[in-house]
Structure 1
């Protein structure tokens, strides 16, 4: 029997599977839950989370009603329930370059990626999705990225990777991230295509902004004087390493550790907490616990939710098709 995955019958079966059997995931290096939000919007169910930063964990609790477990290096795999997909926006630490004496299997020891590798090996989930900065692909002349991919493949996963930009998924923020997806079985998977429905700065900027967000006249004048070109408002500027100021009708990437004046709206004021959340595609009712500095840190460390949701939908679709294929094989079709 030949199976047409796009026939009406199969599509109906897929819909029923999504409704009846939810795909579960764990949220590692969870931050404030941006990756979780994307996968929940696509229909997934979170069964475990881990985040060592206490302030981020407080924000996570305020929005999801649960405190994530702490330091993943101190959590045994046996303490983690069974799940379908491992999710992790993991920190990028330098990988040691170890010679033949130690062997290839030790190359990730001492890095946080090793914790992901450990859990994948012990729990053997159907799939994973990892997120990191674009520069991970170039770190150490590409060696770091090569080690990551080879180690994931050595665990028996079919691995896909692509750099995606938040600008292509409805947000006025240029934020490029490497997305790495893996599946235990060969599946029909493609990364999502850019969407046409996009928000503009006008859509995310607040009106009647409190005066506390406005910078001193001296800062405004300095930025204005160094601005390389003039464009219509609203715009956002950032200062590059050479001191040049360039305006764009979108935001450059939010950064957790950037200076207070890293991004300025019309060279006049800082972004509000609500605007930072909107630039990452968080829901309007999402709550940040703590100070402005904490908000900048937490949102800057997070992910573009619509981008993650788009990837999640493709992953869940691929897993559902795989499950349908397997069910036919079991029935001898």
Structure 2
């Protein structure tokens, strides 16, 4: 095997969600950059020999000093740079605060510049990035900035980089979680990338199928002001059940809370998107009216069941919620290896979640609202309207291909 084949440089590695999937596909991670101290410890727990780059794991500092020779490569040898820059400057939630409406002007977006700098230094054959839809769409997206940067790199080095992106739902690829994220694939020198075809679009893996054989070491207990309302919300529903348009007593105003407020899993559907920083009332909650255990979160992100995480429950939840679903990364890794004409693993996906047709369940009864909440029942003002406060948005699948030439 020639030097550089199958090699990947991992940026924003977190606890290893994307890296695990790429390794399952056949890539070899030769360096990882992660700033979070707890996540770095998690990487070393699972990969004691991991090459963690930079004293502090700061991608900006690493980009300023790291060279291909430091990893035993020549410029152009590296197969892949992968990772997802912090999404906060581009996320929908951030846009409700004036300080969040900055996109590439946000200081946190300097990590995108660092990624571009490393692409220029290494000239990898491919780049894989994951982010939120706001990274490529909307007034503050980074897409045009990224295009221009790749054009400059192409022209300066007599190469051709193409930028492709698509909004994918992880549930379509066997991940038991509805998680929509933008996947960006950048390829060098007219390489054609075929997006993976959905394997579970018509029949996704359900939360019950995924979790039926998971035994938590420690079952968390719901806490907070609204925790006792969970038994009064059917599985698969959220606080809207307790509004003027729901079927329960009106305790909240319609669309006056975020979607994941008191949001519960439905056993016959994939999980809702896992949150990295949930509050006491932030779902998705288990249908047993409690937060999800760490082992359950690992399964819903398709991380290996024996994957170890440093830190307490909150730290583990943050690491899992920030991760790329490993099975989705395995799908993408296989397609990248095929595009680069490199040998990849064949047959059944290593991280696939098995489906047990014998798994059955009965609907859980919905309890009456606890007496302590009854004084709150009564007419409430609804959401003021589009553009006047937090509201749900429907994300439509989109894709775009764009090429730059020397």
Structure 2 counterparts to residues 115-134 of structure 1, below 5 A: 115-134=114-133
Query: Could you say which structure has the higher strand fraction?
Result: 1
Q: State the match for 2:301 in structure 1.
A: 280
2:179 and 2:114 map into 1 onto residues whose CA distance is 26
Residue 57 of structure 1 contacts residue 67 of structure 1 at CA under 8 Å; is this kept in 2?
Answer: no
1:188 to 179, 192, 196: 192
2:340 aligned counterpart, secondary structure = helix
Tell me the residue number matched to 2:13. 30
1:302 & 1:63 partners in 2: Cα distance?
A: 15
C-alpha contact (below 8 Å) 1:56/1:298 kept by paired residues = yes
Q: CA deviation at 1:319?
A: 0.4
Judging by fraction of residues, say which structure has more helix.
1
Q: Report the count of equivalent residues.
A: 288
- Is the alpha carbon distance of 1:121 and 1:34 closer, same or farther for their aligned partners in structure 2, counting shifts above 3 Å? same
Residues 90 and 301 from structure 1, CA distance in 2 versus in 1: closer, same or farther, beyond 3 angstroms? Answer: same
Kept in 1: contact 2:86–2:109 (CA 8 A):
no
Q: Deviations over 1:92-138 (max 9, x none)?
A: 334456xxxxxxxxx99961100011011111111111111223233
Q: Report what 1:78 is aligned to.
A: 67
SS of 1:112's equivalent?
A: helix
List runs of 5+ in structure 1 lacking aligned partners.
1-16, 98-106, 323-333
Match of 2:137 in 1: 138
Checking the alignment, whether the CA contact within 8 Å between 1:22 and 1:43 is kept in structure 2 is no
**Residue in structure 1 matched with residue 36 of structure 2 by the alignment:** 53
Secondary structure of the 2:110 match is: coil
- Cα distance in 1 between the residues matched to 2:219 and 2:169: 31
Picking from 199, 207, 212, the partner of 2:205 is: 199
Aligned residue in 1 for 2:404: none
Q: Is it true that 1:161 corresponds to 2:150 in the alignment?
A: no
Aligned to 1:87: 82
| Shift in CA distance, 275/238, structure 1 to aligned 2, threshold 3 Å | farther
1:163–1:177 CA contact under 8 A, matched in 2 = yes
Aligned-residue offset at 1:67: 5.6
Matches within 5 A, 1:191-270: 191-196=195-200, 198-205=204-211, 212-215=219-222, 219=226, 221-225=228-232, 227=233, 230=234, 235=235, 240-241=257-258, 245=263, 248=266, 249-262=269-282, 263-266=284-287, 268-270=289-291
Cα distance in 1 for partners of 2:293, 2:236 equals 13
Question: 2:294, 2:313 within 8 Å by CA — same for their partners in 1?
Answer: yes
For the residues of structure 1 that align with 2:6 and 2:222, how far apart are their CA atoms? Answer: 47
Mapped to 2, the partners of 1:247 and 1:123 lie a distance apart of 43
* 1:40-82 C-alpha deviation (Å, 9 max, x unpaired): 1111111111101000000010111126221121121327423
Where does structure 1 differ by over 6 angstroms across 4 or more consecutive aligned residues? 107-110
Following the alignment from structure 1 to structure 2, what is the Cα–Cα distance between the partners of residues 219 and 211? 22
Distance 2:47 2:115 in 1: 23
| Normalised TM-score (structure 1) | 0.77
Shift of the alpha carbon at 1:216? Answer: 5.8
**What is the aligned-residue RMSD (CA, Å)?**
3.0
Deviates more, 1:126-135 or 1:274-283: 126-135
- TM-fit CA distance, 1:250: 2.4
Structure 2, unaligned stretches of length 5 or more? 90-101, 155-160, 240-256, 344-406
Output the CA distance in 1 between the equivalents of 2:180 and 2:286: 21
Which of the numbers 283, 296, 312 marks the counterpart of 1:291?
Answer: 312
After TM superposition, the score normalised by the length of structure 2 is 0.64
Deviation (angstroms), 1:29: 0.8
The residue aligned with 1:178 is 182
